[in-house]
Structure 1
Amino acid sequence: MSNALAIAAVTITLRHLLQQRFDAESSGRITVTTRPLDKVGDHTVSSGDQVNLFLYDTQINAAWRNMDIPSQVKPGETGQQLLPLNLYYLLTAYAQNDDFPEPTSHRLLGVAMSVFNDHPIITSADITAALPITNPPEYDLDQQEEQVRIVYQPLSVEEVFNLWSTFQAPYRVSAAYEVSVVLIESSQPAKTPLPIIKRQSSDRGPIVQSDLSSPLPTLVSLQLPNQQASARLGDILIFNGFHLDAENVVIYFTNIRLEISLEVSPIATRTATDIRVQLPDEPVNWAAGFYTVVVGVTRTGEPNRTTNELSFALAPKILDITPRQATADANGEVTLTLILSPQVRPRQRVALLLGDREVLAQPHPTQTDRLEFRIAGVTPSEYFVRVRIDGVDSLLVDRTVTPPVFDQNQKVVIL
């Protein structure tokens, strides 16, 4: 493999091949440079005939992108991702006489293209001869197992125009080449685990069962009481699944947005396919919103296991509304104060849904169970209200009776 200096190593090697040929034919009167197109003609490097090799683009080599390092990553090991690159160079000749009376730049370009035609593969010897000798060595491109190839790259008229106009440099006849592939090794170490000498404890091999159910603790569904859309504090949740019986079972609730993590023990009566848990009525510790839940199962002689995740919504509950009969003030605003459970965190978005209107709560910089809402231009009437916290609405419909009815505790009168 190569280190991060591989791109520079390729450029130096190509320049060396060109300079070596021109030195042999012109006794050092021709200079090979690697400058940007807009800097070639300033004569700060050479005032004579000149051949310029410009790296104008790099591309990821798709064939090598997801491959492991040859001869370094063994089966069962995980190597870091390679950086495989294709390099694109523009070869341009510049003549001191501006190609009059002889087209000198054409001759120089032909010789340069002949060099690359004679070296379709850059060998380790070419790389070693071109690079400076240091101790320890800085460059290691010569140790790359994959060969570096030089291939002519045809450019369309549009591509040539875009390239030269970008640098605002006078156009010169040029030839483009693709040099590939350069494999830059990651600086991160590979993962090399120890070989496996036994399977599970006591080398007992795989576990076989007669059905298609998961052999591990698994949650299949979550039932909310009374077919509600969301749960409330104090509700009993029923989890259905497989292999949920164990000496020690813990249920983990997580609200990722608010960074809340809670552990709750299930109700004592449980089976392998059924677990029940009552949400503790602890308004300070919980918050309305969306939760994920997993069940942790611990059996004697086995590692601790957790089930897959299920999700549910925890709805806010309106404990009280003051005043129940409200009138508008001098500014035409009605102010309502709601007492909620669980308490509302400062980062939560809270809105009162009154009729078909949404009214945001007044700022609440601290955790609280009381929120104030100011409603302007409301028509006097009776309204059923809901509160929406982080996208979860309070339960307006009472489904404990048949037929279901609206919760009268969520009713206000605007006079």
Structure 2
Amino acid sequence: MSNVLAIAAATRTLRNLLQLAVPQLDTDLSDLEVTLQPPDVARKGITKAQINLYLYQVVANAAWRNLDMPQQTRAGETAPPALALNLHYLITAYGRGETDLDAVSHRVLAAAMSTLHDHPVLGVDDIRSALTGNDLADQFERVRITPLTQSVEELSKLWTAFQTNYRMSAAYEATVVLIDSRRPVRAPPPVLRRGPQGQGVVATTGAAAMLDAITYPNAQPALRLGEDATLQGRRLTAEHAVFRLSSPRLDAPVDITPQPGGGDSLVLHLAAPPEDADAFSRWAPGLYTVALLQQPPGLPALLSNELPLAIAPTVTVAPNAAAAGDLLLQLTCAPRVRDGQRVVLLFGDRTATPQSISNPADPHQPTTLTFQLAAVAPGTYPVRLRVDGADSVPVDFSGSVPAFAPNQQVVVS
């Protein structure tokens, strides 16, 4: 880690490196002077070849700012992260005099950039000798020098901020400088017991169940109240297990005991009245996730992966026959529609949004919805209700072949 001399140490190390190496690369630059001034005053009183190294921006290093420092904390301890900084420097080259007819400034800039290219990491000895009392060389992360690409627009804004004329320059980033926090480390007391009554942690050799697929009855796209769905998977068992169904429309997940069985499949039964008198208000039509929660006595609970499960609305439609023209259609929906759910009527190939949605005071009654359809032409129209992406099933599977259910279509004459 580093103390508060770290920024100054990095700057002076770069200055010393340029001052020593550039004249060795180009012997004609033996009179070179390296300064650390703002660009608007860097050239005052100087006429010889010059490099001005200006620290123009200091930014937080996002990768290090929230990390515990290695070798500073142990497992379970917390400590304030170090102040992690990236230093942005502008290197400006000047020739001899103001005219620079021999392009000396170009030679200065090329030698400076070549020096930094050959020294991408600041040396430990160079840092230690740059400033007395600094410990930047002791931090475990080395300070790396990288060129910064700047567009013409960025250069224009930068030199406008300096309030001086543009000079040939190159930008570099020095990363990372870690300044140690002086706040104390917080360490928890030693552990006296592990697990209840100091018996140690509980281990189990079993593995959680894995769900692979859901099969709905009659190859439907969703499950209705009163129907069964089959869940295929691995390590499935109905003993000490429940299906956990979750939805953002419910205040809490709902647990359902599987039908007896196990192995590679289990049956989920979604009870309807009168078997479950509260089914209309317990559920909401729409999309859910289902997982198998296993709770063996005396062992930790094991939760399987989740699969998407759709609960379809069961609807009634009135009237089932009407005259051509404007049509007022009324539907009932079970389970009940909840506040905020997205409801769409699919009438043949048309869609409509509800004019009104009403939930009776009796929670055992379904939701009533009213739709207004304009200029309906003669024909037979299957009716579906889509709630949060789950569609009602307008198909009758009782015959030898599936057919549209007569009570879920409207005949317009």
Superposition TM-score tier, normalisation by shorter sequence: 0.5 to 0.7
SS in 2 for 1:252: strand
From the superposition, tell whether residues 296 and 149 of structure 1 become closer, same or farther in structure 2 (CA, over 3 Å). Answer: closer
From the superposition, tell whether residues 262 and 296 of structure 1 become closer, same or farther in structure 2 (CA, over 3 Å). Answer: same
Alignment partner of 1:342 is 2:317: no
Tell me how far 1:339 sits from its aligned partner. 0.8
Structure 1 residue corresponding to 2:215, chosen from 211, 217, 223: 223
* Distance in structure 2 (CA, Å) of the matches to 1:371 and 1:191: 61
Q: How does 1:228-307 map to 2 (within 5 A)?
A: 228-240=220-232, 241-246=234-239, 248-256=240-248, 258-266=249-257, 269-281=260-272, 282-307=279-304
Tell me how far 1:83 sits from its aligned partner. 9.3
* Distance in structure 2 (CA, Å) of the matches to 1:21 and 1:231: 75
Alignment partner of 1:53 is 2:51: no
Structure 2 residue corresponding to 1:312, chosen from 294, 309, 313: 309
CA deviations 1:331-350 (Å, max 9, x no partner) are x5321111111111231121
Give 1:92's aligned residue: 92
Alignment partner of 1:126 is 2:126: no
Tell me how far 1:180 sits from its aligned partner. 3.7
CA contact (8 A) 2:12 2:131 kept: no
Structure 1 unmatched ranges of 5 or more: 23-28, 131-139, 208-213
CA contact (8 A) 2:344 2:387 kept: yes
Q: How does 1:138-177 map to 2 (within 5 A)?
A: 141=136, 143-150=138-145, 153=147, 159=150, 161=152, 163-167=154-158, 169=160, 170-177=165-172
Structure 1 residue corresponding to 2:36, chosen from 15, 32, 38: 32
CA contact (8 A) 2:88 2:171 kept: yes
Tell me how far 1:261 sits from its aligned partner. 3.4
CA contact (8 A) 2:344 2:386 kept: yes
* Distance in structure 2 (CA, Å) of the matches to 1:360 and 1:384: 16
CA contact (8 A) 2:242 2:294 kept: yes
* Distance in structure 2 (CA, Å) of the matches to 1:220 and 1:101: 77
TM-score (ref. length: structure 1): 0.67
The CA RMSD over aligned residues, in Å, is 5.2
Q: How does 1:69-84 map to 2 (within 5 A)?
A: 69-72=69-72
**Aligned amino acid, residue 386 of structure 1:** R
From the superposition, tell whether residues 94 and 244 of structure 1 become closer, same or farther in structure 2 (CA, over 3 Å). Answer: same
SS in 2 for 1:283: helix
* Distance in structure 2 (CA, Å) of the matches to 1:89 and 1:298: 61
Alignment partner of 1:322 is 2:308: no
Tell me how far 1:262 sits from its aligned partner. 3.5
* Distance in structure 1 (CA, Å) of the matches to 2:381 and 2:101: 96
* Distance in structure 1 (CA, Å) of the matches to 2:333 and 2:151: 69
Tell me how far 1:283 sits from its aligned partner. 1.4
Q: How does 1:178-197 map to 2 (within 5 A)?
A: 178-183=173-178
Tell me how far 1:184 sits from its aligned partner. 7.1
Alignment partner of 1:382 is 2:386: no
**Aligned amino acid, residue 284 of structure 1:** S
From the superposition, tell whether residues 371 and 124 of structure 1 become closer, same or farther in structure 2 (CA, over 3 Å). Answer: farther
* Distance in structure 2 (CA, Å) of the matches to 1:129 and 1:112: 27
Structure 2 unmatched ranges of 5 or more: 20-32, 273-278, 361-365
Report how many aligned residue pairs link the two structures: 371
From the superposition, tell whether residues 393 and 91 of structure 1 become closer, same or farther in structure 2 (CA, over 3 Å). Answer: same
TM-score (ref. length: structure 2): 0.67
SS in 1 for 2:11: helix
Give 2:326's aligned residue: 333
From the superposition, tell whether residues 223 and 104 of structure 1 become closer, same or farther in structure 2 (CA, over 3 Å). Answer: closer
**Aligned amino acid, residue 318 of structure 1:** V
**Aligned amino acid, residue 333 of structure 1:** D
From the superposition, tell whether residues 190 and 242 of structure 1 become closer, same or farther in structure 2 (CA, over 3 Å). Answer: farther
SS in 2 for 1:10: helix
From the superposition, tell whether residues 363 and 204 of structure 1 become closer, same or farther in structure 2 (CA, over 3 Å). Answer: closer
* Distance in structure 1 (CA, Å) of the matches to 2:58 and 2:385: 57
Tell me how far 1:82 sits from its aligned partner. 9.2
Q: Which moved more, 1:237-246 or 1:114-123?
A: 114-123
**Aligned amino acid, residue 157 of structure 2:** T
* Distance in structure 2 (CA, Å) of the matches to 1:142 and 1:413: 86
Tell me how far 1:53 sits from its aligned partner. 0.6
* Distance in structure 2 (CA, Å) of the matches to 1:244 and 1:291: 21
Give 2:394's aligned residue: 396
Q: Indicate the percent of aligned positions where both proteins have the same amino acid.
A: 32
**Aligned amino acid, residue 358 of structure 1:** T
CA contact (8 A) 1:382 1:412 kept: yes
